[in-house]
Amino acid sequence: MMNLTKNKQRAEELRELILKYNYEYHVLDNPSVSNAVWDGLFAELKRIEAEHSELITPDSPTQRVGSKLLDGFEKVAHKTRMLSLNDVFDRADVEAWVKRMDNLLPGVKHEFFTDIKMDGLACSLIYIDGVFSQAVTRGDGFVGEDVTDNVKTIRNVPLKLRYEKGYEQFLVGRTEIRGEIVMLKKDFEDLNKKRVSVGEPEFANPRNLAAGTIRQLDPQIVTTRPLNFRAYDLIRDDVSQVSSWMFAYQAAGILGLSCNQQASVFGDLNGVMKFIDEWDKKRHDLPFNTDGLVVKVNDRAQFTKLGIVGKQPRAAVAYKYAAEKVTTIIKDIFIGLGRTGAATPVAILQPVTLAGSQIQHASLHNADEIKRKDIRIGDTVVIFKAGDIIPQVESVVLELRPKKSFAFDFEEALSSEYPELKFERPEGEVVYRVKGTTGPILLKRSIEYFTGKGVMDIDTLGKKNVIALVDAGLVDDLADIYKLTFEQIVKLDRFADISAHKLIDAIATTKKPKLDRFILGLGIRHIGSQTAVDLANKFQSINSLKKATIEDLLSVDGIGEVVAESIVVWFSDEDNLKLLDKFDALGVKPYYQPATGKLVGQNFVITGTLKTMSRDEAADKIRSLGGTFQAAIARDTDYLVTGENVGSSKLKKAQDYGVKIIKEDELNNLIRG
Ligand code: IVH
């Protein structure tokens, strides 16, 4: 319920803002935001509406088919209705679409026609006896606007159809050519350059500009804005003259119209999917913008037979590529510490899908970047994926900034997150680092921890040896210890033949660590041994822990916001991801064994000093039998083990919660018996 109210409010805010931007763009001709911001907000609104269809309002900017009819142009009824297409997003959607058609026309094997979906505006050109007579926008699909004069300025729209033997029939009577009016990317850039040079504001994006241009009342202005028409349909009164979509393209081309050369026909879905994958990569090199592909049943008789549902034909779909820019909200900013002591800020995002995958954090680079873009917690931001794996923040949508919001204070955040460390920002650098040349110190510390007691337990590798290895330049990160060779080590002063062999052997025995130990060893802030065990139990592999969302993590007992964020941030660092790959490549394969043993599901707290073992040893034993070792008494604690010198407050709490209080020998019985 909460979620719905939030989404509703968000959708309303987005709609209001998009309408404002549309107005600035179309009416004032003076946009205040870039095309990325507009696209991002529009994509977010579409996403919310797709997830909560009850939130769609009839006046939502997403519900617009074609464009509103403006005064000043004559209305023209379309002889054949202009349709729109249903969107599909992946292979499963495409398969479901084909299945629906198979149910309607059982036994009919379809050929599929595919083409690039151009991002412009639809227009219909009417030729009478081969002569251009009228151009009509889509309008609401039934009635459009007469934009003949403006379309006449488009250079690649022939005013007379070409004659070619075998195609004479199209030069007699009415031939309707439908297609998309686009502005080529190059023309758009040139135009903007010109505008900047005379001090005029830049246009936001080619699609809006093409649409705005076509509805200019003054054709003089239209001539200054180069447009391009690309045909995708040919309609005759006698529909049998056009047997397939491929034929429509061929005929249109012969008659003198431009058609996309990329259009293809496939006998099966595999071909279609290959086309889709191929163009996902290549579409950015096309001369015009595209937001997907069109897939249709090639045969026109079958196409018609399959009919129309609502505004969409059953026999065609628009395949939409995943958005590469989306908007979302920054929930928090967290500063990660790299292995070299560099403090790197990361934005924790409300999860969104970007370029096909769910993301929940973005890199903020450094303090200056945050300041320059004035990125704040609570802000709505446009995020994008560049070459790297981790998305980045492009800009902040200031209009959606919460009323109470503060500039991000980097130094303050550093000291509250790492009260035990001191930071400095070396002259001329953008990065804050742990004070002193602490790079190696941090590295030494993390190796010591990883190889130390309770983690990898490589006891032949003490503190001094770690220092020697790092100082000799043999170990640059945690994984490097698995690269060490006997020859390298034996050269160091601290080692002789036997000790070097011993160390190599000891390291080799840790190549199949238990998953929880491995997680613990990574040194992720706020993860202690019990959390590591809980994480291992829940996620069962490093790969699924890597993909865990904040919500997934919060569902683990005992994990709160701070720990969850710390984990997500650790896995958002490309150096850390590379480190994991390196471990893997070096043959370090953590394994998970589901908790078995007689203590599964039992929670223990120990208080006081034990006689027969240390607390750590006791905790290890409990865990090895599947039990959970808790730091403090909680509602779900089953046993409080009391040693010597027990504080009374713990006993009282245990009694209040109905926790069983046992002595050390009873614990030993549980473990043994
Ligand atoms: S075919 C009956 N082909 O996308 C199907 N449409 O949502 C007619 N579009 O109204 C459409 N490129 O404005 C087709 N290669 C292409 C297209 C294309 C862009 C637009 C067109 C259409 C809308 C469908």
Q: In this predicted model, what pLDDT tens digit does every residue of 247-304 receive, in sequence order? A: 999 999 999 999 999 999 999 999 999 999 999 889 989 999 997 999 999 999 999 9
Ligand 1 proximity of 318 Cβ (cutoff 6 Å) = yes
Query: In the 8-state DSSP scheme, what is residue 27?
Result: I
Ligand 1 proximity of 259 Cβ (cutoff 6 Å) = no
Ligand 1 proximity of 225 Cβ (cutoff 6 Å) = no
Measured distance CA(187)–CA(181) in Å, rounded: 13
Ligand 1 proximity of 295 Cβ (cutoff 6 Å) = no
Question: How many angstroms is it from 32 CA to the middle of ligand 1?
Answer: 29
Whose alpha carbon is nearest atom 21 of ligand 1?
A: 122
Whose alpha carbon is nearest atom 2 of ligand 1?
A: 83
Q: Choose which CATH entry (3.30.470.30, 3.30.70.360, 3.40.50.880, 3.10.310.30) describes domain 75-320.
A: 3.30.470.30
At the fourth CATH level, the homologous superfamily of domain 439-585 is 5' to 3' exonuclease, C-terminal subdomain (1.10.150.20)
Whose alpha carbon is nearest atom 3 of ligand 1?
A: 232
Confidence (pLDDT) at 64? 62
Measured distance CA(210)–CA(584) in Å, rounded: 51
Place of tokens 């009323």: 403
Ligand 1 proximity of 139 Cβ (cutoff 6 Å) = no
Question: How many angstroms is it from 262 CA to the middle of ligand 1?
Answer: 15
Query: In the 8-state DSSP scheme, what is residue 570?
Result: H
Confidence band, pLDDT 50/70/90 cuts, at residue 68: very low
Question: How many angstroms is it from 295 CA to the middle of ligand 1?
Answer: 10
CATH architecture of the domain 2-55 equals Orthogonal Bundle (1.10)
Query: Of all atoms in ligand 1, which is nearest to the CA of residue 232?
Result: 3
- Best mutation site among 78, 232, 259, 260 for ligand 1, i.e. most ligand atoms within 8 A of its Cβ? 232
Question: How many angstroms is it from 63 CA to the middle of ligand 1?
Answer: 16
State which H helix or E strand residue 418 sits in.
none
State which H helix or E strand residue 539 sits in.
helix 529-539
Query: Of all atoms in ligand 1, which is nearest to the CA of residue 121?
Result: 13
Q: For 470-482, b where at least 16 C-beta lie within 10 A, e where not — what string?
A: beeebbebbbbbb
Confidence (pLDDT) at 232? 98
Ligand 1 proximity of 579 Cβ (cutoff 6 Å) = no
Query: In the 8-state DSSP scheme, what is residue 242?
Result: -
Tokens of 363: 């890199």
What number is the average pLDDT over the span 453-478?
90
Question: How many angstroms is it from 175 CA to the middle of ligand 1?
Answer: 18
Q: Cα separations (Å) of 87 from 282, 317, 335?
A: 20, 6, 40
Check if CATH label 3.40.50.10190 holds for domain 603-672.
Answer: yes
Ligand 1 proximity of 229 Cβ (cutoff 6 Å) = no
Question: How many angstroms is it from 172 CA to the middle of ligand 1?
Answer: 26
Q: Which residue type is seen at 352?
A: V
Ligand 1 proximity of 122 Cβ (cutoff 6 Å) = yes
The answer to whether 592 and 565 are in contact (CB under 8 A) is no
Ligand 1 proximity of 297 Cβ (cutoff 6 Å) = no
The yes-or-no verdict on residue 437 having pLDDT over 70 is no
State which H helix or E strand residue 109 sits in.
none
Confidence (pLDDT) at 201? 79
The yes-or-no verdict on residue 507 having pLDDT over 90 is yes
Query: In the 8-state DSSP scheme, what is residue 354?
Result: E
Measured distance CA(319)–CA(291) in Å, rounded: 8
Ligand 1 proximity of 123 Cβ (cutoff 6 Å) = no
Question: How many angstroms is it from 228 CA to the middle of ligand 1?
Answer: 15
The mean of the pLDDT values for the chain is 89
Can you say how many angstroms the Cα of residue 153 is from the centroid of all Cα atoms in its chain? 41
In terms of C-beta density within 10 A (0-12 exposed, 13-18 middle, 19 or more buried), how is residue 144 classed?
buried
Query: In the 8-state DSSP scheme, what is residue 66?
Result: S
Question: How many angstroms is it from 62 CA to the middle of ligand 1?
Answer: 17
Confidence (pLDDT) at 65? 46
Whose alpha carbon is nearest atom 13 of ligand 1?
A: 122
Cross-strand bridge partners of residue 146: 136
pTM flag (> 0.85):
no
Ligand 1 proximity of 316 Cβ (cutoff 6 Å) = yes
Question: How many angstroms is it from 205 CA to the middle of ligand 1?
Answer: 19
Whose alpha carbon is nearest atom 1 of ligand 1?
A: 232
Confidence band, pLDDT 50/70/90 cuts, at residue 179: very high
Question: How many angstroms is it from 328 CA to the middle of ligand 1?
Answer: 29
Confidence band, pLDDT 50/70/90 cuts, at residue 397: very high
Ligand 1 proximity of 375 Cβ (cutoff 6 Å) = no
Q: Distance between terminal CA atoms of the chain? A: 50
Provide the 3-class DSSP secondary structure of residue 57.
coil
Tokens of 554: 């919060």
- Best mutation site among 63, 86, 291, 294 for ligand 1, i.e. most ligand atoms within 8 A of its Cβ? 294
The yes-or-no verdict on residue 418 having pLDDT over 90 is no
Query: In the 8-state DSSP scheme, what is residue 430?
Result: S
Q: Which of 57, 29, 671 is nearest to 662 (CA)?
A: 671
Q: What percent of the chain has pLDDT over 90?
A: 59
- Best mutation site among 67, 112, 118 for ligand 1, i.e. most ligand atoms within 8 A of its Cβ? 118
Listed in sequence order, the DSSP H helices in 572-637 are: 574-585, 615-624
Cross-strand bridge partners of residue 180: 122, 230
Q: Which residue type is seen at 662?
A: I
Confidence (pLDDT) at 340? 67
Question: How many angstroms is it from 243 CA to the middle of ligand 1?
Answer: 18
Ligand 1 proximity of 313 Cβ (cutoff 6 Å) = yes
Measured distance CA(134)–CA(132) in Å, rounded: 6
Tokens of 585: 């490549």
Place of tokens 């009577």: 173
Measured distance CA(318)–CA(39) in Å, rounded: 18
Ligand 1 proximity of 181 Cβ (cutoff 6 Å) = no
The yes-or-no verdict on residue 67 having pLDDT over 60 is no
Q: For 612-627, b where at least 16 C-beta lie within 10 A, e where not — what string?
A: ebeeeebbebbbebbb
Confidence (pLDDT) at 220? 81
Confidence (pLDDT) at 71? 57
Confidence (pLDDT) at 66? 41
| Residue 117 falls in the annotated catalytic set | yes
pLDDT digits (tens, 9 = 90+) for 615-673: 888 988 898 888 888 888 888 889 999 998 887 888 888 998 899 999 999 999 988 86
Ligand 1 proximity of 354 Cβ (cutoff 6 Å) = no
Which class would CATH give 325-424?
mainly beta
Exposure of 220 in the CB half-sphere (CA atoms within 13 A)? 1
Domain boundaries along the sequence of the chain: 2-55, 75-320, 325-424, 439-585, 603-672
Whose alpha carbon is nearest atom 16 of ligand 1?
A: 117
State which H helix or E strand residue 434 sits in.
strand 432-434
- Best mutation site among 116, 137, 180, 297 for ligand 1, i.e. most ligand atoms within 8 A of its Cβ? 180
The yes-or-no verdict on residue 546 having pLDDT over 90 is yes
The strand order across the sheet containing 228-236 reads 131-137, 121-128, 174-182, 228-236
The yes-or-no verdict on residue 69 having pLDDT over 50 is no
Question: How many angstroms is it from 294 CA to the middle of ligand 1?
Answer: 7
The greatest distance separating any two alpha carbons of the chain, rounded to the nearest whole angstrom, comes to: 106
Measured distance CA(650)–CA(606) in Å, rounded: 10
pLDDT digits (tens, 9 = 90+) for 354-371: 877 788 889 898 999 999
Question: How many angstroms is it from 84 CA to the middle of ligand 1?
Answer: 7
Ligand 1 proximity of 83 Cβ (cutoff 6 Å) = yes
Measured distance CA(562)–CA(546) in Å, rounded: 17
* Catalytic-labelled residue, pool 46, 75, 109, 117: 117
Listed in sequence order, the DSSP H helices in 572-614 are: 574-585
- Best mutation site among 64, 83, 85 for ligand 1, i.e. most ligand atoms within 8 A of its Cβ? 85
Ligand 1 proximity of 210 Cβ (cutoff 6 Å) = no
Measured distance CA(334)–CA(417) in Å, rounded: 8
Q: Which of 163, 165, 161 is nearest to 174 (CA)?
A: 161
The answer to whether 368 and 331 are in contact (CB under 8 A) is no
Ligand 1 proximity of 180 Cβ (cutoff 6 Å) = yes
